[in-house]
Amino acid sequence: MSRAALVVIDVQESFRQRPIWAYGSNPDLVRQVERLVAAARERGDLVVWVLHSEPGTGGLFDSALGHVRLIDGLVPAEGEPTLVKTAHNAFTTTNLQQVLTHAGIQDITVCGIRTEQCVETTARVGSDLGYRMTFVTDATLTFPIPHRDLPETATVAEILADPRTLSNEEIVTRTEYALAGRFATIRTVDEVTGAALAGTRS
């Protein structure tokens, strides 16, 4: 029985439809996620795919529009569950914990979109639930965050030009500082996949 799981969070077409997509922090996200998935499968770990949905909103995360699906290149293998959430973390509105408990999971590795939002929140909740969490930063992606006083109608150009905008680099640094030693172990894709090749556990 598997004792570890890789949870891939919100790597979905919805984000690619946004103008800010071109300014994401990690152009290699899909390739990095693919590497983690391949390593998890090689170890016999459980891979869980999570998508975010906002039903009835008419926005890019409304399933009715067809964008709530994995980005091209990512394909679940037979037996790998795909869960759909409506909250920031992957636990609250899904049966993720039941899936993990049934599989005997104690260790969880998380990756996906966005670094500081759904991935970080899942790491925090998972830690509070008693799981040993690993956060693979270079298999996450985020976007510049506008200041709260900037109008919601602001264009990408206006967001990027605003000196109050939080950059990708600042977001990643703050997320790692907040998680490390509290909620998760911070690791790289190379470290996780290297451990797999060496036959060791994280």
User: Which residues form the domain of 97?
Assistant: 4-188
Q: Is residue 24 part of a domain?
A: yes
Q: Is residue 98 part of a domain?
A: yes
CATH at residue 160 = 3.40.50.850
Q: For residue range 135-183, list pLDDT tens digits in order.
A: 999 999 999 999 999 999 999 999 999 999 999 999 999 999 999 999 9
DSSP-derived pairing of the beta strands 82-85 and 4-9: unpaired
CB distance 11 to 37 below 8 Å: no
3 pLDDT band (50/70/90 cuts)? confident
**Rounded Cα distance, 98 and 120, in Å:** 20
Question: Residue 183: left (phi > 0), alpha (psi -120 to 50), or beta?
Answer: alpha
Q: Is residue 193 part of a domain?
A: no
Contacts of 13 (CB under 8 A, 6+ apart): 66, 67, 68, 69, 70, 71, 72
CB distance 11 to 33 below 8 Å: yes
Q: Is residue 130 part of a domain?
A: yes
Q: Is residue 194 part of a domain?
A: no
Q: Is residue 42 part of a domain?
A: yes
Contacts of 24 (CB under 8 A, 6+ apart): 15, 141, 142, 143, 168
Q: What is the rounded (10 degree) CA torsion for 135, 120, 155, 33?
A: 30
Q: Is residue 8 part of a domain?
A: yes
pLDDT value at residue 2:
62
Q: Is residue 195 part of a domain?
A: no
Number of compact structural domains in the chain: 1
The rounded mean pLDDT for the chain is 95
47 pLDDT band (50/70/90 cuts)? very high
Does residue 201 register a pLDDT over 90?
no
